[in-house]
Amino acid sequence: MSGFFDLVHHQRAYRTFSDEPVDDATIGRLLDAAVHAPSAENRQPWEFVVVQDPALRSSLLDFAEKAWDGGGREFAEARLTPGLMADVERGIAGGGYRDAPVLIVVAADIERGLKVTVPSSIFPAIQNLLLAATELGLASALTTISMGFTEDLQAMLGLPAHVVPQAVIPIGHPVRPLGPSKRDPFETHTHRDRFGTPW
Ligand SMILES: Cc1cc2nc3c(=O)[nH]c(=O)nc-3n(C[C@H](O)[C@H](O)[C@H](O)COP(=O)(O)O)c2cc1C
């Protein structure tokens, strides 16, 4: 990446991964970026569980598939473009995420911060992690589909009741790099002084 603005344009949701491993030093760099995010009162309420064990990874992803089969697919079908739908299907049910050698479960310690600010203190850290992965040429994805099963995830990972999963992030190497993201131009959703006055 040639710089920050190029980096943000290339941060993408990857749903296919090669089987190339990611070493612990690299994972450490991602997490170091994550923990330098802002958080309310600087409470840093994040907890990360790096899941590399194949059996555990597979069981974790079973919950994503369960959520998808249990209504997620039907819900998404009515909302996503056919291209995105096929991509999400590939990640969750087509084995895409299962090829990722690392799953990072990001959880929130709801006793370490205020209830109202804890979730919003987690996602800046997740974004840092995703950007760091992009900078290092890795594939990553932010997924929340299995968050309907937080208690099962807690039991599986030995998380105490006050450490609540917020996202599962598959990390690996891309099969092929994706191009820049497609977004509405910022002017479409930006207003001058009052809503409705164009920028
Ligand atoms: C809060 C949040 C939850 C998401 N959950 C999922 C998910 O469960 N599964 C998935 O495949 N993608 C998930 N995504 C990824 C989005 O689909 C993706 O960011 C969006 O479609 C833009 O795609 P792009 O990064 O390829 O441009 C999630 C993104 C966000 C911000």
Q: Is residue 197 part of a domain?
A: no
Residue nearest to atom 23 of ligand 1 (CA): 13
CA distance to 11, 25, 80, 192, per residue, from 188 (Å): 21, 41, 20, 12
Q: Is residue 76 part of a domain?
A: yes
Q: What is the CA radius of gyration of the chain?
A: 17
How many CB atoms neighbour CB 130 within 10 A? Answer: 22
> The tokens 């491993």 sit on which residue?
21
Q: Is the pLDDT of residue 166 over 60?
A: yes
Q: Is residue 186 part of a domain?
A: no
Mean pLDDT of the chain: 96
Helix, strand, coil % over all residues of the chain, rounded to 5: 45, 15, 40
How far does the centroid of ligand 1 lie from the alpha carbon of residue 104, in Å? 15
Q: Is residue 192 part of a domain?
A: no
How far does the centroid of ligand 1 lie from the alpha carbon of residue 163, in Å? 23
Residue 160's domain comprises 4-174
Strand, helix or coil for residue 40: helix
CA distance 177 to 192: 37
Percentage with pLDDT > 70 across the chain: 99
pLDDT at residue 2, rounded to an integer: 62
CATH code for position 157: 3.40.109.10
Residue 23 identity (one-letter amino acid): D
pLDDT at residue 113, rounded to an integer: 85
Number of domains in the chain: 1
Nearest atom, ligand 1, residue 14 CA? 26
CA distance 56 to 52: 8
Q: Where are the alpha helices (DSSP H) in the chain?
A: 4-10, 24-34, 54-67, 73-77, 82-92, 118-135, 150-157
pLDDT at residue 162, rounded to an integer: 96
Pocket test for ligand 1, best of 66, 143, 176 (most atoms within 8 A of CB): 143
Q: Where are the alpha helices (DSSP H) in 136-199?
A: 150-157
pLDDT at residue 96, rounded to an integer: 96
- Give me the mean pLDDT over the 122-131 stretch: 98
Q: Is residue 128 part of a domain?
A: yes
With residue 164 as reference, give the H or E element that holds it: strand 163-172
pLDDT at residue 114, rounded to an integer: 86
Q: Is residue 89 part of a domain?
A: yes
> The tokens 């991602």 sit on which residue?
30
How far does the centroid of ligand 1 lie from the alpha carbon of residue 193, in Å? 31
- Give me the mean pLDDT over the 52-74 stretch: 97
pLDDT tens digit sequence for 167-182 = 999 999 999 999 999 9
Q: Is residue 196 part of a domain?
A: no
pLDDT tens digit sequence for 93-126 = 999 999 999 999 999 999 998 888 998 999 999 9
Which residues have C-beta atoms less than 6 Å from ligand 1? 12-13, 15, 84, 88, 91, 141-145, 181
How many CB atoms neighbour CB 37 within 10 A? Answer: 17
Q: Where are the alpha helices (DSSP H) in 11-81?
A: 24-34, 54-67, 73-77
Pocket test for ligand 1, best of 144, 147, 168, 169 (most atoms within 8 A of CB): 144
Q: Is residue 95 part of a domain?
A: yes
**Please, what is the angle between helix 54-67 and helix 150-157, to 10°?**
170
How far does the centroid of ligand 1 lie from the alpha carbon of residue 32, in Å? 23
Residue nearest to atom 30 of ligand 1 (CA): 142
Pocket test for ligand 1, best of 84, 98, 142 (most atoms within 8 A of CB): 142
